[in-house]
């Protein structure tokens, strides 16, 4: 049986961690970030092509397109062997924003988003397979992979030209360790789903 986890939200400045779905969703909603669990997720083979993945998730992708005005979807697939991985990660691991929404549905692997609201505390969100996150355009954020350096995710775009990061150069990102939360932090969670 597949063991499934979900996003964990942390507020480092308050030493607070949320791992209940409703709590995580509510806190993210207060920052205008949509969070969904797509369950049951569609079965896709480990070696499935991007085309097969997009076909499997076509109903969800079409719904999001209708909701958010997204016009294209693709699959990003990153492993520790991906050429230029460090350079790619370094584009996104300091605080920035985009002129369009950042929409990610995680199929495999993990990552950690930090969100810096205009008012309120920085939060981190560790996302895992089955998590959909929609970060509105203009939101200050940064992203890191977790230690296994693996992520496979569907991305949706309103216009790919809006995807270029604009850096705040605030330095705020340097105050937060990209520590991913996960099963090892919550050994009991394996029994909950």
Cα–Cα distance, 75 to 99 (Å, whole number):
20
Site string for Fe ion, 137-156 (x = CB under 5 A): --------------------
Size of site (CB under 5 A) for Fe ion: 1
Closer residue to Fe ion, CB minimum distance, 8 or 139: 139
Nearest-approach distance from CB 113 to Fe ion, in angstroms? 8
Nearer to Fe ion, 60 or 102 (CB): 102
Name the minimum Å distance from CB 60 to Fe ion. 21
The answer to whether residues 78 and 85 touch, using CB atoms and an 8 Å cutoff, is: yes
Compute CA distances 173 → 17, 63, 107, 151, 167, whole Å.
19, 33, 26, 21, 11
**Nearest residue (beta carbon) to Fe ion:** 102
Sign of CA dihedral 192, 131, 9, 26: negative
Pick the closer one to Fe ion by CB: 28 or 41. Answer: 28
137 close to 175: Cβ distance less than 8 angstroms: no
Nearest approach in angstroms of CB 137 to Fe ion is 10
Minimum CB separation of residue 168 from Fe ion in Å reads: 12
In the complex, the smallest distance separating the C-beta of residue 165 from Fe ion, rounded to whole angstroms, is: 6
Piece of the chain touching Fe ion by CB under 5 A; list 21-29, 62-70, 81-89, 97-105: 97-105
CB neighbours of 10 closer than 8 A, spacing ≥ 6? 16, 17, 18, 123, 124, 125, 126, 181
Chain residues that interact with Fe ion, rule: CB under 5 A = 102
């Amino acid at each position: 049986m597949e063991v499934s986890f979900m996003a964990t939200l942390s507020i480092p400045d308050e030493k607070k961690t949320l791992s209940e779905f409703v709590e995580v969703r509510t806190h993210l909603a207060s920052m205008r970030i949509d969070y969904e669990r797509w369950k049951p997720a569609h079965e896709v083979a480990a070696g499935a092509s991007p085309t097969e993945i997009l076909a499997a998730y076509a109903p969800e992708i079409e719904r999001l397109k209708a909701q958010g005005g997204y016009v294209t979807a693709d699959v990003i697939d990153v492993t520790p062997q991906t050429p230029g991985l460090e350079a790619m990660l370094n584009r996104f691991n300091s605080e920035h924003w985009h002129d369009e929404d950042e929409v990610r549905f995680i199929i495999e692997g993990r990552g950690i988003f930090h969100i810096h609201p205009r008012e309120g505390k920085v939060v981190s969100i560790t996302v895992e397979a089955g998590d959909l996150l929609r970060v509105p355009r203009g939101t200050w954020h940064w992203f890191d992979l977790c230690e296994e350096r693996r992520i496979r995710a569907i991305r949706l775009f309103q216009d790919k030209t809006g995807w270029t990061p604009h850096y705040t150069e605030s330095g705020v990102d340097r105050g937060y360790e990209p520590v991913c939360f996960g099963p090892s932090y919550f050994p009991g969670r394996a029994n909950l789903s």
